[in-house]
Amino acid sequence: MERILVQDHDDGKGYSATLFENDQQLIDAAIERLGFSYREYTSEDLEFIDNEDLEGLLKCNSTVIEVATQDKWSDYYTKGKCSADFNLTVNSSGHSFRHCVRNELPTKTEAAIFELEDSEDGYGLFTISEAVQFIKDHHADMHIDTYKALTKILKPRLKYRFISEKTIIIEDHGHDTPTVWLARDHNHIIDTAVKSAGLVFRAYLKEDVNDETCPLFAEMLEKHDCIIEAGTQTESSYYSLDSAPCRLEAALYAIESHTIKLYTLTMTEARQLVDGDKSQYTGRHQIEVTKAIKDLIDV
């Protein structure tokens, strides 16, 4: 799963953001930045252990997970009836150590995530959908460097997620002059996609599976509580909630499927194009498209 690691530099410069495309990259970052280590012990290891804390736990538990970083003592996890948090446990020599009982032992990825988020260096981890929601919730009071760091990562993966309310849409169908229209708001784009491109955007739950359900689709619903179908009436894709496009993205992708090239401009970008910034639109018939946009925004 892709995750974004955000670090607060605590120097008035906001945050930096790093994308990890898989769990191993995240684990490697925890090792490099925190000295993270993760080791599983079983009762078979007892004769080789010279650690009174660990030895005491293994005498009562079949498996113990030891997690450590360079800045703190080891934490130990055992399986059992879940407790709320870490407990301080005292061994026979009077030394105390942190011990957490969980319903399921943490995986190496889960442990790395916990240590990064628990670090005093100000790390935070987001899935892609969590990062999008974070921007929506905090855009008004977010440091500009935070916004830039996150959107630099997010925009290539969420092509249309940051479309503003009023948007210029340019559809290049490969013949004549491209079609230019002003989307009044997100619903206008979605309604247009339904009418012109046959937009399909549906959610399916586990209870929707029946004898006629495609086996691959049924298998996906065994792994996820909800699946999103997004596409057109002729071609759709299926996503888990975490990886699914939003309805606006799905609408613009549906419109784009009927074109050679689809361009979107915010009103600010459109005005910059009209004022002479040709970099805002590099497609065909630039003069005609610029005039059409000028007519739209002058209304």
Half-sphere exposure of 262 (CA within 13 A, CB side): 17
Q: What is the pLDDT of residues 80-135, one digit of tens each?
A: 776 556 666 655 555 567 888 888 889 999 999 988 888 776 678 888 878 877 87
Q: What is the DSSP letter of 106?
A: P
Q: What is the pLDDT of residues 98-112, one digit of tens each?
A: 888 888 889 999 999
Cβ distance 254 to 190 under 8 Å? Answer: no
Task: State residue 59's pLDDT score.
Answer: 85
Q: What is the pLDDT of residues 50-76, one digit of tens each?
A: 888 788 888 888 899 999 888 777 888
Mean predicted confidence (pLDDT) in 144-167: 79
| Alpha carbons 40 and 42: distance in angstroms, whole number | 7
| Alpha carbons 158 and 151: distance in angstroms, whole number | 9
